[in-house]
Every structure is written in structure tokens, then in C-alpha cells.
């Protein structure tokens, strides 16, 4: 199947046409809506196509894409559209056909992801208007965590909070972690259902997930993507009384929200969210950059240790996303000196910064891998598998 995956944020629109049978990207596109004027840049068969937008919006990007698509003499095949939604709540895990009724469901989930759902819903409306003859599906980042055990997803808060307000751990970056497990299986020539994997997604957002035999059993993010590791601008785990303390000190709820999500993490520690800049500053003995790296890597290291215990050991530790894939220094800081735990990095292999590859020494009992994050491929793969299952059920009845 050929599936167009749409990943829409508040300032960017990412589009990828995936051949799910071969897990390959046929068309790659992106528009930065903060640029003036904005341009949708497409990569197809070695060609670069630039479509200038009339309006800086996801709706205009999708309109331009549809018009360009229709003018191609060798029209690209397209079977369905997949829309990335950050939050499916506790109920929605499988791909959800987008209809008038399910749009109301998606809108009702906005309170769980107020920053992410509105632009995604706008993109869905635009895509349906411009690709009206094709089926559309919502795919949820939280879906990979559907099998979290009760002890991992439950917070020790009042019962009313849990039952009436849905307060629990949901987990995010699911498509990235799911792909990391599948990529690890391919590199190790084993089946995902045969592996215990600790996957470490390090990009602007950051999270760690423990997966046993192809299913997530724990993850660092929580009810929201702010929990867990310190990130580019998000705080990660902190004492839950700190926001109340700051409120009593005179900050408003909006000011606290902004501080925790946009002015904390690496930004809060050293004034920069760019890992390359921070590493360079640390090499120059900048104390705030050194502290930022120490806090960042120590937090990852603690989660790795916790998940080694939760899994009863591991077959692979996988680094993925921009920092995880491209930063040998971070991998060394996180896993260096753990030989007694069976984790031994190879300096030469670890120095590689691109492509799926092993970075562990032959003496390491646990494989350490660096893989490219392919969330859109994973979404297309999952939707294709789901649709094949639906078709098989219909034929059997």
C-alpha cells in the first residue's frame, strides 16, 4: 500500500508518502510555516520541487500538494492518508477512521494534548477537503503503550483523579520506540518478540522506553510529554510541589506552564537547547554547559538502570532521534563505565554518526545500537497491517 503520512505541528507540516510493502519513502515533504513566504519543499526521485504557499498554514500546504499531485502525468499511487495524533487517551489505540463522528472524538481528546491536537485537527480538515476521495485515519502516539501493566501506568493519586479525570501514565514517542525495537530486531537478525529492548529517543523531546518481546512495559513520559528526562526546553521529572510553590511565589498558571515546557530542560540549565552548541561549550570548560550535560546524561543513565531491573536484563539498548543517532559523545556519557553490567562500547563504531549500526564492542553482553528514527514508516507499516487485518475479517464474514 502507498500511504501518505501527515505529521502537523504548530509551525511545521511534514509529509511522507510511504510504500508500506517495502518500508520505503517515495515522497518526502516539509513546510516551515514560520518562514515568510512559506514554501512546501518536496523530494521525489532525486528531484527537489518547491511550492510557494499563498498562506502560512497547513491547509494551504495540503491544497498546494493536492493541486501538484493532480497535475503529474505519472500520478503517484495513493491508497490512504495517516494523520499523526499525539494522544488517544485510555481508549483509542488502533487506527481510527476519520468520520464526522470520530472527529468529535478527536476534538474531545484535545484537553489531553492542547498544544498538539489543534494543528493536527486543522490538517485533517484540510486533507479531507483536498483528498476527499481517499480514506483518512488517525494514528496515536500513545498506542504503543496500550499494554503497560497497571503498576507502570498508575499514579498514586486519589481514586477520583484516576477515574474521573484520566490521571495516569500514557507515554509518548510511541512510533519512534516501536520502530527502534523493529530496527534492533533487523540488525540483530532476531524477532521483536524475542527481545528485551531499552530504547532511548533523544531529540527536542526525550524519552526512554522498556519493551519486552515487542510490547512496552514502562516509559519515562507520563500523562503529558513533560515528564521523564530533561529535554531541550521541558523540565522532565521534578518534585510535584514545585509548581505550587512557584504559584505561591506569585507566578500564574500560564507562566508556570510556559516555564516548565519552554524555558526549562537544557534551555533552563545553560541558556541553549542545541546539543551541538552545548557540547562545544562544555569542551571549552563552560560550567553551565557541563552541568547541563551532566544532568541530562545522568537522568538517562538512571532510567537505563531502572529498566534493566524492570526487564530482568536487556538484549539491546537503542539510541534514536537526532541526538541519539548523531552524538557519540552523549552515548559515551550515558553508557561509559558500565562494563560490569555487560555494556561495553566500541570507540571506533561509536564514532559513526549516521545510519543504523551497532556501537558496542564484541565483548559486550548487551548490544548497543544507533538507529534513525522512522516514525512515518512505522505509522504506515502499522496502518497497512491494520487494514489487511480488517480486510481479512470482512472476507471471513
Of the pLDDT bands very low, low, confident and very high (cuts 50, 70, 90), residue 347 is very high
In whole angstroms, give the CA distance from residue 155 to residue 57: 38
Stretch 337-364: mean pLDDT, rounded? 93
Q: What is the pLDDT of residues 13-42, one digit of tens each?
A: 889 999 988 888 999 998 888 777 788 999
Three-state secondary-structure class, residue 158: coil
Assess contact for 226 and 235: CB atoms under 8 A. yes
Rounded to the nearest 5 degrees, what angle is found at the Cα of 189, between the Cα atoms of 186 and 195? 80
| Third-level CATH fold of 2-146 | Nucleotidyltransferase; domain 5 (3.30.420)
Q: Within 13 Å, how many C-alpha atoms sit on residue 26's CB side?
A: 16
Question: Is beta strand 206-212 parallel, antiparallel or unpaired with respect to 96-97?
Answer: unpaired
Hey, is 186 helix, strand or coil?
helix
| Amino acid 110: pLDDT | 85
pLDDT reading at 77 higher than 90: no
Domain with CATH 3.30.420.40 in the chain: 2-146, 190-375
Considering the chain, what is the average pLDDT of its residues?
Answer: 92
Q: How far apart are CA 167 and CA 154, in angstroms?
A: 8
Per-residue pLDDT, 391: 67
Confidence bin at 155 (pLDDT 50/70/90): very high
**213 SS3 class:** coil
Helix axes 117-130, 100-108, angle to 10 degrees: 160
The reply to whether omega before 178 is within 30° of 0 (cis) is: no
Contact 263, 272 (CB under 8 A): no
Is 141 marked active-site?
yes
Q: What is d(CA 367, CA 344) in angstroms, rounded to the nearest whole number?
A: 9
Q: For residue 329, is pLDDT > 60?
A: yes
Write the CB contacts of 357 (distance below 8 Å, at least 6 apart in sequence). Answer: 187, 349, 369, 370
CA 42 – CA 56 distance, rounded (Å) = 16
Provide CB contacts within 8 A for 190, sequence distance 6+: 315
pLDDT score for 96:
93
19, 23, 141, 315: which one is catalytic?
141
Selected residue with higher pLDDT from 320 and 59: 320
| Residue 73: per-residue pLDDT | 57
- pLDDT-derived band at 122 (thresholds 50, 70, 90) equals confident
Taking alpha carbons only, the member of 135, 213, 204 closest to residue 176 is 204
Predicted confidence (pLDDT) at residue 386 exceeds the cutoff of 80: yes
Sign, Cα dihedral of 305, 310, 313, 317: negative
Q: How far apart are CA 51 and CA 64, in angstroms?
A: 7
pLDDT at 396: 66
Q: Is the pLDDT of residue 213 over 60?
A: yes
Which pLDDT value is given to residue 74? 67
Instruction: With H, G, I as helix, E, B as strand and everything else as coil, classify residue 18.
Output: strand
Q: What percent of the chain has a predicted confidence (pLDDT) above 90?
A: 69
Tell whether the model's pLDDT for residue 346 goes beyond 90. Answer: yes
Q: What is the DSSP letter of 167?
A: -
What is the distance between the alpha carbons of residues 114 and 223, in angstroms, rounded to a whole number?
Answer: 13
Q: Residue 134: pLDDT above 60? A: yes
Dihedrals φ, ψ of 251, to 5°?
Answer: -80, 145
Least confident of 165-169, 210-214, 250-254, 352-356: 352-356
The tens digit of pLDDT for each residue in 239-280 reads: 999 999 999 999 999 999 999 999 999 999 999 999 999 999
Measured CA to CA, the distance from residue 52 to residue 60 in angstroms comes to 10
Tell me, what's the pLDDT at 256?
Answer: 96
CA-CA distance, 242 to 333, in Å (whole number)? Answer: 29
What CATH code would you report for 190-375?
3.30.420.40
| pLDDT value for 297 | 98
Question: How many beta carbons lie within 10 A of that of residue 227, not counting itself?
Answer: 20
Amino acid at each position: 500500500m502507498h500511504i501518505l503520512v501527515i505529521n502537523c505541528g504548530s509551525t511545521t507540516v511534514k509529509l511522507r508518502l510511504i510504500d508500506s510493502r517495502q518500508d520505503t519513502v517515495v515522497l518526502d515533504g516539509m513546510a516551515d510555516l514560520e518562514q515568510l513566504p512559506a514554501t512546501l519543499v518536496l523530494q521525489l526521485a532525486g528531484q527537489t520541487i518547491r511550492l510557494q504557499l499563498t498562506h502560512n498554514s497547513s491547509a494551504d500546504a495540503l491544497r498546494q500538494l493536492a493541486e501538484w499531485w493532480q497535475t503529474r502525468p505519472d500520478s503517484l499511487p495513493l491508497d490512504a492518508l495517516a494523520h499523526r495524533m499525539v494522544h488517544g487517551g485510555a481508549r483509542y489505540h488502533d487506527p481510527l477512521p476519520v468520520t464526522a463522528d470520530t472527529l468529535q472524538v478527536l476534538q474531545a481528546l484535545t484537553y489531553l494534548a492542547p498544544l498538539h491536537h489543534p494543528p493536527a485537527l486543522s490538517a485533517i480538515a484540510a486533507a479531507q477537503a483536498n483528498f476527499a476521495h481517499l480514506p483518512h485515519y488517525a494514528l496515536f502516539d500513545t498506542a504503543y503503550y496500550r499494554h503497560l501493566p497497571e503498576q507502570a501506568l498508575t499514579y498514586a493519586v486519589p481514586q477520583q483523579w484516576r477515574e474521573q479525570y484520566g490521571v495516569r501514565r500514557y507515554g509518548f514517542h510511541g512510533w519512534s520506540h516501536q520502530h527502534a525495537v523493529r530496527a534492533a530486531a533487523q540488525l540483530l537478525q532476531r524477532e521483536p518478540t524475542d527481545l528485551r529492548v531499552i530504547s532511548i529517543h533523544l531529540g527536542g523531546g526525550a524519552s526512554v522506553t522498556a519493551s519486552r518481546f515487542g510490547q512496552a512495559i514502562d516509559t519515562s513520559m507520563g500523562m503529558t510529554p513533560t515528564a521523564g528526562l530533561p529535554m531541550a526546553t521541558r523540565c522532565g521529572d521534578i518534585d510535584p510541589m514545585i509548581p505550587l510553590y512557584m504559584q505561591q511565589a506569585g507566578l500564574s498558571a500560564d507562566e508556570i506552564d510556559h516555564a516548565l515546557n519552554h524555558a526549562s530542560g537544557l534551555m533552563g540549565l545553560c541558556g541553549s537547547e542545541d546539543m551541538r552548541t552545548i557540547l562545544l561549550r562544555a569542551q571549552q570548560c563552560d560550567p553551565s554547559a557541563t552541568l547541563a550535560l551532566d544532568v541530562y546524561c545522568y537522568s538517562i543513565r538512571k532510567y537505563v538502570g531502572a529498566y534493566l531491573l524492570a526487564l530482568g536484563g536487556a538484549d539491546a539498548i537503542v539510541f534514536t532521534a537526532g541526538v541519539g543517532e548523531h552524538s557519540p559523545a552523549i552515548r559515551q556519557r550515558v553508557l561509559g563505565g558500565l562494563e560490569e553490567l555487560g555494556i561495553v562500547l566500541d570507540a571506533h563504531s561509536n564514532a559513526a554518526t549516521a545510519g543504523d549500526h551497532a556501537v558496542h564492542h564484541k565483548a559486550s553482553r548487551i548490544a548497543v545500537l544507533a538507529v534513525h528514527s522512522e516514525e512515518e514508516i512505522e505509522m504506515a507499516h502499522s496502518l497497512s497491517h491494520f487494514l489487511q487485518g480488517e480486510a481479512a475479517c470482512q472476507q471471513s464474514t
